[in-house]
Amino acid sequence: MSITISITAIASISPLGTDSKVIWENYLKEDHCFTEHVLDHKKTFVAKLDSDSKQVVAELRASDSKYKSLDKSVLYAMAAARKAMRNAGWTQNDVFGINIGSSRGATDLFEKHYQEYLQTGKVQTLASPTTTLGNISSWVAHDLQSSGPEISHSITCSTALHAVLNGVAWLRAGMADKFLVGGTEAPLTDFTIAQMRALKIYSNSIEEYPNRALDLEKKKNTMILGEGAGVCCLEIGKKENALAYIEGIGYATEILEHNISISAEATCFQKSMKMALQNTSLSEVDVIVMHAPGTIKGDLTEYKAIKKVFGETIPLLTTNKWKIGHTFGASGILSMELAILMMQHNKVIAVPFANSPVKIQNPDSVIKKVLVNAVGFGGNAVSVLLSL
């Protein structure tokens, strides 16, 4: 269906900051955002919010007595949503939908409540309402005084891009004119990191770049967790203030062979990319922002899927997980933010250590179309084609 969807704002809170100029400047630096984290007497890495972002969250929590009991994941979503709404020029008189999801929801708060229950046999009154997944969009709606529909969901690491799919579907169906979509995650707890270690996918690297996302020759898994949130404003039609347009969307799910499986050539990605590109010539795609979590199989199977779809003429490839880690349910929207920034500045943020399959940008080239990929446990892939 050829109904134009405009992205009139995108805002985030992450280890890169909250201001788009600062975020871009940080992307231009070839350093990462990881800090050391000790677990079971072993050093590992995580990507925490930068100091400015932490200050924004602290001020938000202190602004309303009801916000003191909320999980960080909810506060991150609220902070990003406030800025996105302001940047889009929306007001409280506007009717808009909200769909902000999370892979794991109130990770930190749930673990604290459960630990308290194990120690005392009792839980606090607000333990349930503040840890349900639905409280993310509900609190964002409360904070923005929204009167439209509100949805929260979890589709693992492709959650944010599934929110984009939902927003596009509502807009194209004529059920809304505006939708606020995105994802949020605050997974930096010892238990969550231990879960990733149990899967043997967490980085133990002590190299300069401990997350080797898009290093297709790595011999060990190097995923690192990060925290953050991202939200974008979608509007029906071609708007004068649009940052970019959604030109195509695609989705697919694989038949599982294992709880976290994905096929050798990522069939789900092949299908989702083909669907997103069905009305676009492959030669028009300038860049692909890959999901590329930094695991051996995750990076390589996605690359093989890209080769299957594009053949030998592969667009420029990049990812941001070598820099900010894997933010689970928020990762797709942060990849969309990177895509929009690259189109605005006409520059690809390259992976510093990427090897031969990843082309170098021609300085004379113009970035007009970027494909963004995301996939989660269960092989639920989403691809979104963005254009200027």
Overall average pLDDT of the 21-33 stretch: 97
Lowest mean pLDDT among 13-17, 37-41, 82-86: 37-41
Residues 82-107 as b/e (b if ≥16 CB within 10 A, e otherwise) read bbbbebbebeeeeebbbbbbbbbbbb
pLDDT in tens, 206-221: 889 999 999 999 999 9
pLDDT at residue 2 greater than cutoff 90: no
Are 27 and 347 contacting, i.e. CB atoms less than 8 angstroms apart? no
Neighbours of 331 (CB within 10 A): 31
- Burial environment of residue 177 by CB neighbours within 10 A (0 to 12, 13 to 18, 19 or more): middle
pLDDT band at 257 (very low <50, low <70, confident <90, very high): low
What domains, with CATH codes, occur in the chain? Answer: 5-387 (3.40.47.10)
Confidence of residue 264 (pLDDT cuts 50, 70, 90): low
pLDDT average, residue stretch 374-382: 87
Percent of the chain scoring above 90 in pLDDT: 86
| CA angle in degrees (0–180, nearest 5) for 206-102-6 | 105
The C-alpha R_g of the chain, in whole angstroms, comes to 20
- Checking if the pLDDT of 151 tops 80, the result is yes
> What's the pLDDT at 224?
98
CA distances for 195 relative to 21, 41, 289, 309, 383, angstroms: 35, 16, 26, 33, 27
Mean of all residue pLDDT scores within the chain: 93
Rounded CA-CA distance 133/140 in Å is 12
CA atoms within 13 A on the CB side of 248: 23
Predicted local distance difference test score (pLDDT) of residue 376? 87
Between 31 and 261, the more confident residue is: 31
Closest to 5 (Cα-Cα) out of 176, 229, 200, 251? 176
φ, ψ at 68 (rounded to 5°): -65, -25
Greatest mean pLDDT among 204-213, 258-267, 347-356: 204-213
- What is the reported pLDDT for 206? 84
**Which two three-digit tokens encode residue 13?**
């809170």
Instruction: Give the pLDDT confidence score for residue 360 in this predicted structure.
Output: 73
